[in-house]
Amino acid sequence: MDRPVRIFADARSRRTTLLAIAVVLAVLIGGSIALRGHVAWLTDPDATRSFVAEFGPLAPIAFVLLQAAQVVFAPVPGQVLAVASGWLFGLFWGTVYSVVGATLGSYVVFRVARRYGRPFVERAIDPAALALFDGFSERRGYLVLAVLFIVPGMPDDVICFVAGTTRLDIKRMTVIVALGRVPGYLLANAIGASLAAQLYAEATVLLLALVAASALVYWYRDAVFDRLLATVR
């Protein structure tokens, strides 16, 4: 490739996204530290689950809607909420709720982008990246979409907006996105479940694995895109 693939249209868009992520993480970490000695259920996994259980069926529904909203509105990686769902609901149900919420949000993004989003996408996304995704969709779009969602570290929420502007079938894309998110959300929920069980060594290993995989994909993203381009030529 002639130059590295950029996702955001300019440095300002990139800085805004990174700043938003940093602020959210700072609030989460700072809030946890500030309330640690005052709210028992933040430090007691059993008490946390009991607190959530008091909401009955509304707790999973609320989380699913929150996860969906994250895809539509927030530039925060879904794995952040997935770690929380693993803590609150356990590995299995946390993964289920995370995938359902993210899939719902992706479907909404596909619909909005298909109907209204091309002008917005063209302003927000780097033209080279947009042209690259357009090229994917014209050939083996479904295969490439699946790979982009399975590989950790990809900007999957941004990809949803771009994919929604293509001619790919929305229902098929939704199924592919749902399946493609499972590995990453399973790992993130495993981290949360390990933290809830106070298995800190296990959680640390899983977290390092997730961070390392994401970092490798980011640093070698040009090679990843080159390989994907080779599959559609």
The per-residue pLDDT for range 114-151, each reduced to its tens digit, is 887 677 677 766 666 676 666 666 666 787 788 778 77
Which pLDDT does position 15 carry in this prediction?
A: 60
Q: Structural domain tally of the chain?
A: 1
The answer to whether position 141 is within a domain reads yes
The answer to whether position 115 is within a domain reads yes
Around Cβ 128, how many Cβ atoms within 10 Å? 15
Predicted structure pTM score: 0.69
The answer to whether position 6 is within a domain reads no
Average pLDDT of 91-109? 93
Average pLDDT of 203-225? 74
The answer to whether position 150 is within a domain reads yes
The answer to whether position 3 is within a domain reads no
Which pLDDT does position 57 carry in this prediction?
A: 78
> Within the chain, where are the H helices?
11-35, 45-53, 58-73, 78-89, 91-112, 118-124, 127-138, 141-150, 156-164, 170-196, 200-219, 221-232
Interatomic CA distance for residues 149 and 182, integer angstroms: 9
Which pLDDT does position 81 carry in this prediction?
A: 80
Look over the chain and give the mean of its residue pLDDT values, rounded to a whole number: 73
Length of the chain: 233
Range of the domain at 21: 11-232
Token reading at 94: 């946390």
Average pLDDT of 32-51? 52
Contact call for residues 188 and 210 (beta carbons, < 8 A): yes
Which pLDDT does position 43 carry in this prediction?
A: 45
Contact call for residues 8 and 18 (beta carbons, < 8 A): no
The answer to whether position 1 is within a domain reads no
The pLDDT confidence band at residue 153, using thresholds 50, 70 and 90, is: low
The answer to whether position 71 is within a domain reads yes
The answer to whether position 5 is within a domain reads no
